[in-house]
Structure formats: structure tokens, C-alpha cells
Amino acid sequence: MDNSTLAAELMDKLHMLRKAQPQKYIDEALHGEFYVLQFLAMRGEEVLPGELCHEMDVSSARIAQTLNSIERKGWITRRIDPQDRRRIIITLTAAGKTEAERLRRAVTGIAAKMLDLLGKRDATEYVRITGKLANAISKCPDII
């Protein structure tokens, strides 16, 4: 089965969606500072910078830049691991937890409004199909 025509149509639709302001906000939430805050909040424990590099698939320099920025904002603390002085431990501060929750609610609210545009049945089906695709791709990383 050749899905080339359908794939081309999908790319056009994804381009249109990506240009939409609500989608831009959601895209930004899936990387950078917001992603780091969400990862730390979901983990609920101390994290090493290498774990963030692995999770986000970015360089240690990029993670260091992001951590510097959110540390200046007071959202994380970094400290040397007393067991292994070569390791830096990252912890979310109370202000970081508050910001992570505020951003999570904002992005979830935008996503909910976007799903409202589809109606209950289509929104449910869209989430189901997106989940099915994400699950299939996670089991087939050599798709590219």
C-alpha cells in the first residue's frame, strides 16, 4: 500500500497546524526550559544533567545552557553529589514546582480548547490514533 499522496496531504496539514499560534505554544512546551521543568516535576526526585541529555536527545552544552537559565530564574538548584564530587545533582525548587504546574495547566488548557474544536468523538479518536502512532514509532525507531 503506497501512502505517498496521503503523506503529502498530512505534511501540508501538519505545516498548517504548526503555524497556528496555539500549536506553537504547545511545541515550545515540548522542549527547552518547560520540558526540563516538567521532567523534573514528573520525576519528583534529583536528576543528573546526563539524564536530561539522554531524555531530550541534546548535547551537554545545550542542557548546561538551559540549566543556567532556569537556575537564574530560581526554578532549580544544582549541587555537587557528596558521594561522587564529579556529579552535579539538579533539584526543582518550590518556585520551580509552582512554575512547572502553572505551565502544565496553561498548555493543557490550550490543548483542551483545540480538542474542543473537534468535538468529543473526533477528539477522542484523534488522541487514540496519536497514541497508537506514538506507540508504534517507539517500537520501530529505524523508520527514518
At 105-116, the pLDDT tens digits run 988 998 999 999
pTM here is 0.77
**Residue 40 falls inside a structural domain:** yes
Phi (first) and psi of residue 82, to 5 degrees: -65, -25
What pLDDT does 137 receive? 87
Q: How many CB atoms lie within 10 A of CB 116?
A: 10
How is residue 103 written as a grid cell? Answer: 505551565
User: Three-state SS for 87?
Assistant: coil
**Spatial CB neighbours of 21, under 8 Å, sequence gap ≥ 6:** none
Query: pLDDT tens digit string along 32-45?
Result: 889 999 999 999 88
In a domain, 45, yes or no: yes
Residue 5 lies in a domain: no
pLDDT of residue 29: 73
Identity of the residue numbered 114 = M
Please check whether residue 6 lies inside any domain of the structure. Answer: no
Residue 38, domain CATH: 1.10.10.10
pLDDT < 70 regions, the chain: 1
Contact (Cβ atoms closer than 8 angstroms) between residue 69 and residue 52: no
Residue 95, C-beta contacts closer than 8 angstroms, at least 6 positions apart: 73, 74, 75
Quote the domain boundaries for residue 92. Answer: 18-143
What is the per-residue pLDDT for 23? 77
Residue 87 lies inside a defined structural domain of this protein: yes
Domain count across the chain: 1
pLDDT at 125: 97
- Cα–Cα distances in Å, from 83 out to 86, 93, 107? 9, 22, 38
How many angstroms separate the first and last alpha carbons of the chain?
18
Q: Could you tell me if residue 10 is inside a domain? A: no
pLDDT for position 1: 65
Asked if the structure places residue 111 within a domain, the reply is yes
